[in-house]
Amino acid sequence: MPADARDAFDRPLRDLRVSVTDRCNFRCVYCMPKEVFGPAFQFLDREELLTYEEIERLARLFVARGVEKIRITGGEPLVRRGLPGLVRRLAAVEGLRDLTLTTNGALLPAQAAPLREAGLRRVTVSLDSLDDAVFRAMNDVDAGVEVVLAGIEAALAAGLGPVKVNAVVRRGLNDHTIVDLARHFHGSGVIVRFIEYMDVGTTNGWALDHVTPAAEIVARIDAVLPLEPADPNYRGEVARRYRYRDGGGEIGVISSITEPFCGDCTRARLSPEGSLYTCLFGANGFDLRALLRAGADDAELSEAIARVWRVREDRYSELRTEATSGLARVEMSHIGG
């Protein structure tokens, strides 16, 4: 039995985010701006992607090294063909405690039931605003709010709850609509998590003054729907929780810019072509696919994973300055957030 992996700062390896595609049916302006991800953009070829068999094999090895939770992401994971087949394989991995998925929700009406049936337990659905014009401008493919709300309904009907909603807040685009979003889901059991706009990738034109700080988000909601802080559910939880004082549920804020949480970061990320990243802001990953396809056995692969984790010193968000946001790094739509 291999030992749990610990990094250079003694952080254990607990979470794995698996990006299954670099493609997406949306073009969110903060993630895949059309000027860059247009018709000429070279996405990965099919044979470059890890197969579901390869992902399952790696997942087992990650779990043996301490991973308890896997999140499937993308690009948009639901555009990859046969995704329930991957879910079925991952749900059967012994020792895995939690299996979830992040999606823009547009394809959930067709896929929620097969995903649940395959063993998915929960989903997070991204929805940045309930104002239709604002939302259409943000996803930039003219997808209306009703498309995503239908996806959330389908997830709940299929038993994929409690559903979480991710909303990226970009000042000047949707920050004036956050209270409406909170109010809409207040009392519904759906937990909205507001995410500070991050300098992920190098194509979204990020600047510090585009960020609405988490404290401001909380204050604006608290003024209308009073909130109180709630304890984290577990060590390393990314979202800071706030409970409605009237018992109407809770919200979360993810303050990676104003209050970084690298000290508790237990997340590894696997790219669609099988590179292992130990930070969302990494420039290069470790090529596990090369090892896999060269015929490495499980022990060699497992040792490679542990070796990469052992030397990990990442704490990008704690070191962030305006200058670091220009450094080379992987795109969010590739690695999946």
- Determine if 199 is a binding residue for ligand SF4 (CB under 6 A): no
Sign of the CA dihedral running 71, 77, 83, 84? positive
- Measured from the CB atom, the residue of 272 and 336 that comes closer to ligand SAM is 336
Q: What residues between 113 and 142 interact with ligand SF4 by CB under 6 A?
A: 126
DSSP structure class, residue 280: T
User: How many binding residues for ligand SF4 (CB under 6 A)?
Assistant: 23
197 binds, among ligand SAM, ligand SF4, none (CB under 5 to 8 A by kind): ligand SAM
280 binds, among ligand SAM, ligand SF4, none (CB under 5 to 8 A by kind): ligand SF4
- Determine if 168 is a binding residue for ligand SAM (CB under 6 A): yes
- Measured from the CB atom, the residue of 92 and 327 that comes closer to ligand SF4 is 327
Which of 18, 89, 104, 308 is in the footprint of ligand SAM by CB under 6 A?
104
Q: What are phi and psi of 216, to 5 degrees?
A: -70, -40
Which of 56, 62, 65, 178 minimizes the C-alpha distance to 119? 56
- Within a 13 Å sphere around the CA of 131, how many CA atoms are in the beta-carbon half? 12
- Measured from the CB atom, the residue of 116 and 193 that comes closer to ligand SAM is 193
DSSP structure class, residue 6: B
Name the segment binding ligand SF4 (CB under 6 A); options: 107-115, 150-158, 175-183, 313-321.
313-321
Using alpha carbons, list the distances in angstroms from residue 49 to 54, 138, 289: 10, 28, 9
**Nearest-angstrom CA–CA distance, 9 and 145:** 43
* Exposure string for 65-75, b = 16+ CB within 10 A, e = fewer: bbbbbbbbbbb
- Rounded least distance, CB 226 to ligand SAM, Å: 27
- Measured from the CB atom, the residue of 217 and 280 that comes closer to ligand SF4 is 280
- Determine if 151 is a binding residue for ligand SAM (CB under 6 A): no
212 binds, among ligand SF4, ligand SAM, none (CB under 5 to 8 A by kind): none
- Determine if 104 is a binding residue for ligand SF4 (CB under 6 A): yes
Residue nearest ligand SAM, CB atom distance:
337
Q: What residues between 11 and 70 interact with ligand SF4 by CB under 6 A?
A: 24, 26-28, 31-32
Q: What are phi and psi of 197, to 5 degrees?
A: -60, 125
Q: What are phi and psi of 112, to 5 degrees?
A: -60, -50
Residue 52, phi-psi category: left (phi > 0), alpha (psi -120 to 50), beta (remainder): alpha
Which of 30, 52, 194, 244 is in the footprint of ligand SAM by CB under 6 A?
30
Two tokens at 295?
A: 């015929």
The three-state DSSP-derived secondary structure of 191-235 is: EEEEEECCCCCCCCCCCHHHECCHHHHHHHHHCCCCEEECCCCCC
- Measured from the CB atom, the residue of 166 and 255 that comes closer to ligand SAM is 166
Give the binding site for ligand SF4 (CB under 6 A): 24, 26-28, 31-32, 74-76, 104, 126, 261-262, 265, 267, 279-281, 314-317, 333
Residues that bind ligand SAM (CB under 6 A): 24, 30-31, 73-74, 76, 102-104, 126, 166, 168, 195, 197-198, 200, 204, 332-333, 336-337
